[in-house]
Structure formats: C-alpha cells, structure tokens
Amino acid sequence: MNSSPMLVQLPADIRARVQSPSTTLDQCFENRTSNRLNVLLEGNITILSTPTALRDNLELSASRQNSHVVVKDLSRTGVGIYYHEQLFPLEKIQVELQHRRLTAIVVRCRYLGPKCFEVGAKVISVQSNL
C-alpha cells in the first residue's frame, strides 16, 4: 500500500458504528444477489477511468488518485466504501486491501458529511496474492 494520508472524515454516528460494528445484518429488507459482509478495513483506491463527459466538466483533484479509503462491506458482486470525495456512476476504480485488488464500476455515491461519501460499486474482477 502507498503512504498517502487518510482523507476520509467519518461523521460521528458512522464513526461510532465503525468502532463497535454489529456482527449481524438485517437481511429481511435486502434484495441482493449475494450477501454482504461488513469488513471495515482500510484500503487504497485508484481511479482508473472517468467518463469523458465528467472529465470535461469537472475539476478533478489530484487527491482522487492513489489515496486511502475505508472499505465498508463486500459481497461477491459489489463493494461499499467511504471516500473523501464524490465519485460518479460509471467511474472505474481499483481498491486494494489485504493482498487483493478489486476492479469495480461505481453505481452510486451518497454524501454523508464533509470529506465523507458512501460509494457503492459493482465488482468486475478480483486479483489475489499481490
């Protein structure tokens, strides 16, 4: 992993959940193809590509490249992360954690507070034993 600083600032209510995570998930309202696993691990993210229309109309900061994230949850088909900047649907990202590299496409991003966005992405490939 690189030595970039952690820029995500979790809101107090989320920070409390991270410090004492629940081991159970409320599955009755989940409509997913595979179950989520809460992991709450630090990882690294690289933005691999941004759609042309976004690149042309946004000022994209250098801190979007090779920075830390908090990986919130994982499933066979998706990954949830907390990130310090807004990501956009169709952006291609790569998340490294615990000797694995996940390549994924962003499907949603929700503002939680200053320097904290909850991002959901569809996993398209996984490499192990890096």
Query: Which domain CATH number covers 66?
Result: 2.40.10.220
pLDDT given for residue 28 in this prediction: 42
22 in a structural domain: no
Higher-confidence residue of 18 and 93: namely 93
10 in a structural domain: no
Burial readout 61-92 (b: 16 or more C-beta within 10 A, e: otherwise): eeebebbbbbbbbbbeebbbbbbbbebeeebb
Per-residue DSSP letters for 53-78? HHHHHS---GGGSSEEEEEEEE-SSE
Q: What percent of the chain has pLDDT over 70?
A: 73
**Among residues 62, 71, 22, 80, which one has the least CA distance to residue 43?**
71
29 in a structural domain: no
73 in a structural domain: yes
Count of domains for the chain: 1
104 in a structural domain: yes
Q: Give the list of residues 6+ apart from residue 113 with CB closer than 8 angstroms, or none.
A: 9, 10, 11
State yes or no: pLDDT of 37 exceeds 90: no
pTM summary value: 0.79
State yes or no: pLDDT of 47 exceeds 80: yes
7 in a structural domain: no
Domain of 61 in residue numbering reads as 36-128
Residue tagged 């970039």 (tokens): 4
AA identity, residue 35? N
3-state SS class at 41: strand
26 in a structural domain: no
Q: Give the list of residues 6+ apart from residue 12 with CB closer than 8 angstroms, or none.
A: none
14 in a structural domain: no
